Structure 1
Amino acid sequence: MRDYANHEHHRAPERDVRITGIDTAVVSGNFDWNLVRIHTDAGVTGTGEAYRGAAIPEIIDYIAAFLVGENPLDVERLFRRMVQELSGHGGTTGKVVTAASGVETALWDCAGKLLDLPVYQLLGGKFRDEIPVYVDLHAGDAYAVDHGFTQYGDEEAYTPEAYADTAERALELGYDAMKFDLDMPRDNESDPMNGRLSAADVAAKVDVVDAVVDAVGDRAEVAFDCHWDYTIDSAKRLARALEPYGLLWLEDAIPPENAAAQRELARSTSTPLATGENRFRVHEFRELLAEFTVDVLTPDPTTVGGLAESKAIANRAEEQYIPFAPHNVCSPVGTMAVAHLCGAIPNAAYLEFHALEVDWWDDLIARSGSLIDDGTIVVPEAPGYGIELNESVVREHAKHVDDGFFD
């Protein structure tokens, strides 16, 4: 087995730093946000975030056992070490890569602070000062997540008028790009198992899209998300029916595992298609990109392998002239990490924001003003990600905080 532990012994004294601990905190926002903190013998800490949900702190505890004593500046080597050490635990995909992604994003923040540079600079430099954001929306109370699983709202929440009213609100808040969920409870009425849409189901979705597009006019770009729900025949019918509306994209219309099926869907419609959030590491994007099965690529950096892995994926997408619009359901920590990534890649299009309903979202970090202003995020010039946690807010909303997290 390859050994990615540190075998190098020549380093300038000021960069001869060691990891002394890795701690986690789980903050209950609209999802369970997994925050990760790395401590060093230089007194510098780095903070990152892994994708939402269960089991991440336990995996990171396992990772800490072999990363303590390593140099945090060797970010990409340490990511490879995590993957290799966890290879017997499904380490090339799933939750273990998600946990490693959280550690990797914390390492970048730590490295930036140690070297007195913003993370975008460490990733190769800046292409843009501001990152355009699209806001993920739901019509009224159409969709609620408590522990992260699906919980549909009442049928009246899915009227075209409810979607249009929410779109108008987003415009008032300064967003010129937005995305709505297009899956509805009625999709499951004829058969909750087979993923097929009736003609009436497709017509109901077209009515929603028509109402939203009519409401925003040319003031905003609009995308719709299907959450990998439909059979290929239903996805084709839906995508074709939406062709007249000039959508930003239609996202995850079919399940993610079969790249050939995604290619077949792409060949059948002129509606731009987006996918990518359910794939792990650069290897799982090869067929999607090589076969031109997608118009917009949407990996989630906090689950796919971190910032360096995401940059490698973005580079491969750029080779195919495909834009990169990362999926993001993070707290301000993960959101800012991905903003630095988007600042450092040429083909970044939009960054997702998925916490409009969390009125204390900005309070999680110690700063004045909103992180997102008029639909954009300014990439900070301060070292690391340029943000620091607000300890009292973390503790107020935490489901779990390691004893050493704030030490």
Structure 2
Amino acid sequence: MGGEWKETTVGEFSPFAYGKSLPEKKRENGPYHVYGSNGPVGFHNKPLVEESGIVIGRKGTVGAVHYTAQPFWPIDTTFYVSRANHRDLRYTYYLLKSLGLENMNSDSAVPGLNRDAAHARKILVPELDEQRAIAHILGSLDDKIELNRRMNQTLEAMARAIFKHWFIDFEFPNENGDPYKSSGGEMIDSPLGPIPKGWSVGNISDIANILGGGTPRTSVDEYWDGDIPFFTPKDAKALYCLYTEKCLTKKGLEKCSSRLYEKNTVFITARGTVGKLVLAGTPMAMNQSCYALTGKEVSQYFLYFAIDNLVDSLKQSSHGAVFSTITTATLESTKVLIPEATVERDFRGRIAPFFETILAKNEENGKISELRDSLLPKLMSGEIRVPVSEKEVDQF
């Protein structure tokens, strides 16, 4: 077991430095992340900080804490902590994550984190060996989450490449297993250009049911904080959505014009930030700023990529003087390629394992995140102590 913990302050243990302004027009494309208060916001050809570090939201997303293992540029809406002052930077990252800095907003008009107030926070810190042991435990969980995330990115890219090969390049396997178009497969004219014989062009409404959502009254407490996920555009962050910022009760769902949509329903954001596409990772309801799409005779996987391929066109057709909006009429009437049923069915069989694995990895990440979040305050407060030996420390 480690030694006694010492009382200090954030300012003594981990002093915050101010980030530096770097307007978007002055950024030059390069390998270094530019960090704002809510995470990476772009790239630049040189870093402000030449080593790994921690970025803390100062204005905007107050108190958000981000770790980067690479050199970086924190802009003037942030504070940062560099490795120069720390023997275990990742422990410091988890320590700052545990302090609830997001609750230290010092300005109600323009959210802001006051450095003096943050520096004055009293903290207890263990000796270096226990710091490293704590960081190793939490870091291993985050590393697994990141590994799963990268694997999902690879699987999604592979699935997208197969869709393009089959339904844009028309190189799906013919009856002999050879690429259709380059093997001399017959093409016919269509409103979308040459397409394989036997295929057709129709409207989105020909291949998908287009359904709406709604929001129950926010003033009625019994409608909210239940266990039914409630999808809004804010939740459109990845291929699959498993967790939402808001949840409904059964009573809330009854008072909502949204039905409970099944897993793999395609959601498309239609107001404000339009054109974000997500698959429901679990049954969930949806608000009125989105549409839900369910395939009529095509799979949800084909439907997802087919609509994704039309997003730019849908954005250009959106309406609204203040906020862009995709109307039902626009969505229904947009032209889409309709493949032969046998080709779509073969695609479904080939692509399903990709999506199933992605969803399983997302579910695993959710469980790992819950474990990490439950351990974080207990490890940082000393409620759970980590056994440490010299041999163990040498491994970190």
TM-score (norm 1): 0.25
In our comparison, the structure showing a higher alpha carbon Rg is 2
Structure having the larger proportion of residues in strand: 2
Where relative contact order (Cα < 8 A, 6+ residues apart) is larger, the structure is: 1
TM-score (norm 2): 0.25
